[in-house]
């Protein structure tokens, strides 16, 4: 392209341009051309010869030449046609750098005449340079903590071109964190800067790679780019964290020290020192908890430091802080909930809280005696307590409320059988193995007057010899009362009644305290054979209880009555003579009279024997008296030699010890037969009544003795069986022991102590120490009374005759 025009003006039409050029040239002697840079060799620049008004032909002769102060070889003039052309590559940027104006100044000289022309060739810019960054990669370090809108200047690109070709625009690869801002510089340049649009987080994106592209304004445009490597720097913006805010740990109580509770692992998203952590207990936690646990600051292990007791606390809330070493440091928190599990390490406890003791033996069933409470510091089954009571007692436990029991009476009490109970309340928990504790409760049973005094027998029999001294102690009564103290203090009293004319209290008295029974006056068997009365025993309880016992006092006979003669009415006289008429004709063995006598005593003392003492008047042995009947009979036939009046003395004697006697006088008148018949009929008429009465009595006696004998046998058997070891009987005057006695209307018998013992021990044949009491009647006139059997082994004769000394009632022997 050939352009020739004045500088600063649009290219005018050629004639005008030439005109102007000439004028300008004339004025300044200057030509002005323009050529783009990078034009090819030979590119036309201007017809410089013509423009200077030089003939082509004269160019060579006039030594037309072009000189340039610099780079003269870039443009060349063809001397043939006078055209200025591009000789070698012109680089505007090389020639002028970054100056906006760039021209090549040529001096055109011709000689003959020497003329110097100035030609100015403007080198026009071409967009031949892309924007260029000084480095291929820009590295930026941005702390993650930078706030939004923070700016980070970038190094801009440079473009060697000028003008529009060097007008750069920048573009950033799309991303969410940064936008581009263009900062205009004072020198009209501009540079890009990154503006933070979104907070950075190193922990999320620790680096970015962005592309910054610069585009120039040339046509066509050229671009250049640089890679931006953005490193996000760590800031201690992350607190250490635990993966949970609450950790729950369960452990049994009583762990050994140093037991691991939990190993905490906090993490910190930061880097380096910002993630180095130390663990500690929060300052909030009380020292009571702090002392129980140990924290390893470095590893985060929490271990047991001191006894952990469920009963002290069943949970621990440990607040833990973890602090990193950044500056400023950040703290993370967590809570460790340590739940302590119960172990059965506490025994139950038993408390007996209230006692109403002693308990009256008449207390109602259901009476509360004690309140019992149990407790166990453990929980759950380990703390569940069951209470048991000693078995087989009349008490029971009634649960009134959880862990509260009443000890109540379950069945009736009787102090007399059990006066105190040692109860053991055992509390056992439900742990495994279970623990237990016990408490003992002594329950004393208080006496109530529920037992009357009791005598061993309902009836006592005592034998007392008659004619005892007044005030004689005859028996001791003893009633037992099973109660205690006052309730068992027995006092005795006589139950008053009448005995015949008199009150029983005139015979006997009972000592209130000792129970001793005294005979107040001498007793007379002939007046009172059996004294029966009741003694009442009362205790001192409230109300008092009492019982009665019957005492039978048999009065034993003593030989205190002499035989008494029975004289027919009219016999008259205190001397007591029996008169009989005896016919002289009677033969031997004829009963002529009968002496009758009675003895008020009993037994041997009443058993009479008769003997002829002396016959006055010369009877010459004509009469004798039957030993037991008292019959006076002839021993031979009477004759004339016998005196008509015979006086016989008959001694009537009992068998007492000593024997008492009476003397009967029998007067016999020997008469002729007629006289005697008359007298005898009269006498027999009188005697018949008495004889019949005596016979009756004898029948009774026999029946009585037989009855007594059979009773004796029967009783001996019973006695042997039942009363083998009964205590010995008392003496006649003195405390008597009860003895089995069978009284009867006709008589009494007993076995002596000796006899009984022999029977019991079975040694040898028993001696004849049996005794029969006969009624106070004259001996039986029947001759064979002597042969009567009254004992099992011995004949009555033997019994009656043998050893009168031993023939006394049982109980006669003083107690050993």
Ligand X SMILES: *[C@@H]1O[C@H](CO)[C@@H](O)[C@H](O)[C@H]1NC(C)=O
Contacts with ligand X, residue ranges (CB under 6 A) = 262-265, 495, 534, 536, 546-548
Q: Tell me the three-class secondary structure of 574-585, residue by residue.
A: CCCEEEEEEECC
User: How distant is the alpha carbon of residue 447 from its chain centre?
Assistant: 32
Closest approach of ligand X to the CB of residue 534, in Å: 6
Residue 495 or 702 with smaller CB distance to ligand X: 495
Residue 398 or 495 with smaller CB distance to ligand X: 495
Closest approach of ligand X to the CB of residue 480, in Å: 15
CA distance 812 to 30: 202
Dihedral of CA atoms 321, 324, 326, 331 in degrees, nearest 10, equals -20
Closest approach of ligand X to the CB of residue 268, in Å: 15
Helix (H) or strand (E) holding 801: helix 796-801
Residue at token pair 């002529």: 592
Residue 550 or 675 with smaller CB distance to ligand X: 550
Closest CA to 452 of 427, 415, 480, 433: 480
Closest CA to 780 of 705, 710, 716, 694: 694
Residues facing 101 on adjacent strands: none
Closest approach of ligand X to the CB of residue 214, in Å: 53
Closest approach of ligand X to the CB of residue 576, in Å: 48
User: Cβ(487)–Cβ(451) under 8 Å?
Assistant: yes
Residue 252 or 263 with smaller CB distance to ligand X: 263
Omega cis (within 30) before 417: no
Residue 358 or 546 with smaller CB distance to ligand X: 546
Closest approach of ligand X to the CB of residue 513, in Å: 19
User: Cβ(520)–Cβ(506) under 8 Å?
Assistant: yes
CA distances from 89 to 33, 69, 73, 76, 93 (A): 17, 17, 10, 12, 12
Handedness of CA 326, 331, 334, 340 (dihedral sign): positive
Closest approach of ligand X to the CB of residue 514, in Å: 20
Closest approach of ligand X to the CB of residue 545, in Å: 8
Residue 297 or 657 with smaller CB distance to ligand X: 297
Closest approach of ligand X to the CB of residue 536, in Å: 5
For 332-365, b where at least 16 C-beta lie within 10 A, e where not — what string? bbbbbebebebebbbbbebebeebeebbebbbee
Residue 58 or 496 with smaller CB distance to ligand X: 496
Residue 535 or 615 with smaller CB distance to ligand X: 535
Closest approach of ligand X to the CB of residue 424, in Å: 42
Q: What angle do CA 804, 807, 811 make, to 5 degrees?
A: 150
Closest approach of ligand X to the CB of residue 248, in Å: 11
CA distance 551 to 462: 7
Residue 259 or 521 with smaller CB distance to ligand X: 259
Closest approach of ligand X to the CB of residue 495, in Å: 5
CA distance 93 to 29: 28
Residue at token pair 């004509």: 622
Edge-to-edge strands, sheet with 223-233: 137-143, 223-233, 207-215, 169-172
CA distance 81 to 59: 9
SS3 756: helix
Residue 334 or 582 with smaller CB distance to ligand X: 334
SS3 324: strand
Closest CA to 785 of 719, 697, 720: 697
Q: What angle do CA 535, 541, 545 make, to 5 degrees?
A: 40
Residue 495 or 742 with smaller CB distance to ligand X: 495
Closest CA to 49 of 58, 41, 61, 38: 58
Residue 265 or 613 with smaller CB distance to ligand X: 265
Residue 535 or 705 with smaller CB distance to ligand X: 535
The phi and psi torsions of 96 (rounded to 5 degrees) equal: -120, -5
Residue at token pair 């030439």: 18
Tell me the residue length of the chain: 816
Closest approach of ligand X to the CB of residue 626, in Å: 52
CA distance 539 to 481: 8
Closest approach of ligand X to the CB of residue 453, in Å: 10
Residue 546 or 728 with smaller CB distance to ligand X: 546
What DSSP character marks residue 147? P
């Amino acid at each position: 392209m050939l352009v020739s025009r004045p500088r600063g003006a649009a290219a005018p039409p050629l004639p005008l341009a030439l005109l102007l050029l000439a004028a300008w040239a004339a004025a300044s002697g200057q030509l002005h051309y323009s050529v783009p840079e990078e034009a090819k060799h030979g590119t036309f620049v201007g017809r410089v010869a013509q423009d200077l008004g030089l003939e082509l032909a004269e160019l060579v002769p006039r030594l037309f030449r072009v000189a340039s102060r610099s780079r003269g070889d870039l443009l060349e003039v063809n001397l043939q046609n006078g055209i200025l052309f591009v000789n070698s590559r012109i680089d505007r940027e090389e020639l002028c750098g970054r100056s906006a104006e760039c021209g090549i100044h040529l001096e055109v000289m011709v000689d003959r005449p020497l003329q110097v022309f100035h030609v100015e060739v403007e080198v026009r810019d071409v967009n031949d340079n892309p924007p260029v960054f000084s480095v291929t990669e820009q590295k930026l370090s941005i702390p993650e903590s930078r706030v939004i809108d923070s700016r980070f200047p970038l190094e801009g690109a440079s473009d060697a071109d000028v003008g529009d070709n060097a007008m750069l625009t920048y573009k950033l690869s799309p991303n969410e964190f940064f936008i581009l801002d263009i900062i205009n510089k004072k020198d009209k340049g501009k540079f890009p800067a990154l503006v933070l649009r979104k907070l950075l987080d190193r922990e999320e994106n620790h680096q970015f790679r962005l592309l910054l592209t610069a585009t120039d304004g040339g046509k066509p445009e050229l671009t250049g780019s640089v890679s931006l490597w953005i490193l996000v720097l760590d800031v201690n913006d992350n607190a250490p964290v635990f993966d949970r805010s609450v950790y729950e740990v369960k452990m049994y109580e009583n762990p050994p020290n140093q037991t691991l509770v939990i190993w905490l692992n906090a993490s910190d998203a930061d880097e380096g020192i910002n993630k180095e952590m130390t663990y500690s207990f929060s300052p909030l936690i009380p020292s009571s908890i702090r002392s129980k646990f140990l924290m390893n600051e470095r590893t985060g292990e929490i271990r047991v430091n001191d006894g952990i007791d469920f009963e002290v606390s069943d949970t621990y809330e440990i607040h833990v802080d973890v602090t990193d070493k950044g500056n400023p440091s950040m703290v993370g928190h967590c809570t460790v909930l340590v739940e302590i599990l119960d172990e059965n390490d506490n025994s139950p406890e038993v408390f007996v809280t209230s006692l109403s003791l002693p308990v009256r033996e008449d207390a109602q069933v259901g009476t509360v005696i004690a309140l019992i409470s149990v407790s166990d510091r453990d929980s759950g089954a380990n703390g569940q307590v069951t209470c048991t009571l000693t078995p087989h007692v009349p008490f029971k436990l009634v649960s009134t409320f959880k862990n509260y029991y009443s000890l109540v009476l379950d069945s009736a009490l009787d102090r007399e059988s059990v006066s105190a109970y040692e109860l053991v309340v055992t509390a056992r928990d439900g742990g495994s193995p279970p623990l237990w504790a016990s408490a003992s409760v002594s329950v004393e049973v208080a006496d109530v007057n529920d037992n009357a005094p009791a005598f061993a027998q309902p009836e006592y029999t005592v034998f007392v010899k008659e004619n005892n001294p007044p005030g004689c102690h005859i028996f001791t009564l003893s009633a037992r009362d099973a109660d205690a103290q006052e309730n068992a203090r027995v006092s005795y009293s006589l139950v008053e009644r009448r005995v015949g004319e008199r009150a029983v209290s005139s015979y006997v008295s009972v000592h209130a305290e000792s129970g001793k029974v005294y005979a107040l006056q001498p007793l007379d068997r002939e007046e009172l054979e059996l004294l029966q009365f009741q003694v009442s025993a009362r205790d001192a309880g409230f109300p008092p209880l009492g019982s009665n016992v019957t005492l039978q006092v048999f009065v034993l006979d003593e030989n205190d009555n002499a035989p008494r003669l029975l004289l027919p009415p009219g016999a008259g006289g205190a001397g007591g003579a029996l008169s009989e008429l005896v016919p002289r004709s009677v033969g031997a063995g004829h009963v002529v009279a009968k002496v009758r006598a009675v003895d008020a005593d009993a037994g041997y003392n009443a058993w009479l024997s008769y003997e002829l003492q002396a016959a006055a008047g010369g009877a010459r042995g004509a009469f004798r008296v039957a030993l037991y009947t008292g019959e006076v009979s002839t021993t031979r036939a009477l004759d004339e030699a016998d005196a008509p009046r015979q006086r016989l003395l008959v001694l009537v004697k009992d068998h007492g010890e000593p024997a008492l006697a009476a003397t009967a006088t029998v007067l016999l008148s020997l008469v002729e037969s007629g006289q005697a018949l008359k007298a005898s009929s009269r006498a027999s008429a009188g005697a018949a009544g008495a004889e019949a009465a005596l016979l009756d009595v004898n029948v009774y006696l026999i029946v009585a003795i037989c009855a007594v004998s059979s009773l004796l046998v029967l009783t001996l058997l019973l006695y042997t069986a039942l009363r083998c070891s009964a205590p010995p009987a008392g003496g006649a005057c003195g405390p008597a022991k009860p003895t089995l006695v069978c009284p009867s209307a006709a008589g009494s018998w007993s076995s002596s102590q000796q006899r009984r013992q022999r029977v019991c021990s079975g040694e040898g044949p028993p001696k004849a120490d049996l005794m029969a009491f006969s009624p106070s009647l004259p001996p039986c006139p029947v001759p064979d009374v002597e042969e009567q059997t009254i004992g099992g082994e011995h004949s009555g004769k033997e019994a009656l005759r043998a050893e009168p000394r031993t023939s006394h009632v049982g109980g006669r022997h003083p107690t050993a």
